[in-house]
Amino acid sequence: MRAKPLFTAAVLLAVLTLLLGLLYPWAVTGLAQLLFSDRANGSLIRDGGVVRGSRLIGQPFTGPAYFHPRPSPSGYVPPGSLGSNLAPANRRLWERMRQDVQRLRAERPDASIPVDLVTASGSGLDPHISPAAADFQVPRVARARGLTEDEVRRLVARHTEGRWLGLLGEPRVNVLELNLELDRRARWTPPSRP
């Protein structure tokens, strides 16, 4: 009598393992590759055959010739993808934000500083900035690259994504795509990047 329930349990375990452990993941992976290949493979951005990054994960950019992303507590390292978890009253958070505001005020003393240039996203890996944050940086980037502000603004406009279905989210600019486009188009040779 006891052998039958054990045999039934073993057969059920084998069938469910085969179905849910092998066949289902293979089917979902196959469909994702067939229907959404770019997304299923990480939305990678290739430039000259070299992977430069993902549309979904921010990267640090420094120097005056590049648009800068939002601050990241993890330094844009994906395994450390989390916010700083510092409370709004935390002195370290306020000190970091104060330093960022001072740096940005030195860059454009007469302009309002967009909030996303001094605050990190929840994941710390946000690849986007607001159009206002991009516009704030246009004069610096144009000067460093020897372009007019209008030329740089046109590039920003081309890389500005609207609301999803015209309703959800906010307009945003992908920093990596914009900086790669600037490197390709500008009359400027960037220093080698790591």
For 88-105, the pLDDT digits (tens) are 777 887 888 888 888 889
Q: How many domains does the chain have?
A: 2
pLDDT in tens, 122-140: 666 778 899 999 999 999 9
Give me the domain span that covers residue 8. Answer: 1-41
DSSP bridge pairs for 54: 44
The pLDDT of residue 177 is above 60: yes
What pLDDT is recorded for position 91? 84
What pLDDT is recorded for position 142? 92
pLDDT in tens, 39-90: 777 667 787 778 777 777 778 888 889 998 888 776 666 665 566 566 777 7
Which tops the pLDDT comparison, 110 or 78? 110
Q: Are residues 160 and 80 in the same domain?
A: yes
Mean pLDDT of 150-172: 88
Mean pLDDT of 139-168: 89
Q: Are residues 12 and 99 in the same domain?
A: no
Four-residue CA torsion sign, 109, 110, 111, 115: positive
Q: Are residues 95 and 9 in the same domain?
A: no
Q: Are residues 48 and 16 in the same domain?
A: no
The pLDDT of residue 172 is above 80: yes
In angstroms, rounded to a whole number, what is the distance separating the alpha carbons of residues 100 and 97?
A: 5
- The upper half-sphere exposure of residue 155, i.e. CA atoms within 13 Å in the direction of its Cβ, equals 25
In angstroms, rounded to a whole number, what is the distance separating the alpha carbons of residues 181 and 168?
A: 26
The pLDDT of residue 182 is above 80: yes
The pLDDT of residue 169 is above 70: yes
Q: Are residues 138 and 164 in the same domain?
A: yes
Q: Are residues 50 and 2 in the same domain?
A: no
Percent of the chain with pLDDT over 90: 23
What pLDDT is recorded for position 55? 75
Secondary structure element (H or E) that encloses residue 13, with its range: helix 3-16
Match 């500083």 to its residue by tokens. 113
Task: Return the minimum-mean-pLDDT range out of 86-90, 144-148, 176-180.
Answer: 86-90
Q: Does some domain include residue 93?
A: yes
Q: Are residues 14 and 102 in the same domain?
A: no
Which amino acid, residue 78?
P
Mapping DSSP onto H, E and C, the string for 145-159 reads: HCCCHHHHHHHHHHC
Residues 141/66, Cβ–Cβ less than 8 Å: yes
In angstroms, rounded to a whole number, what is the distance separating the alpha carbons of residues 26 and 52?
A: 28
Q: Does some domain include residue 49?
A: yes
Q: Report the range out of 39-48, 106-115, 134-143, 178-187 with the highest average pLDDT.
A: 134-143
What pLDDT is recorded for position 59? 82
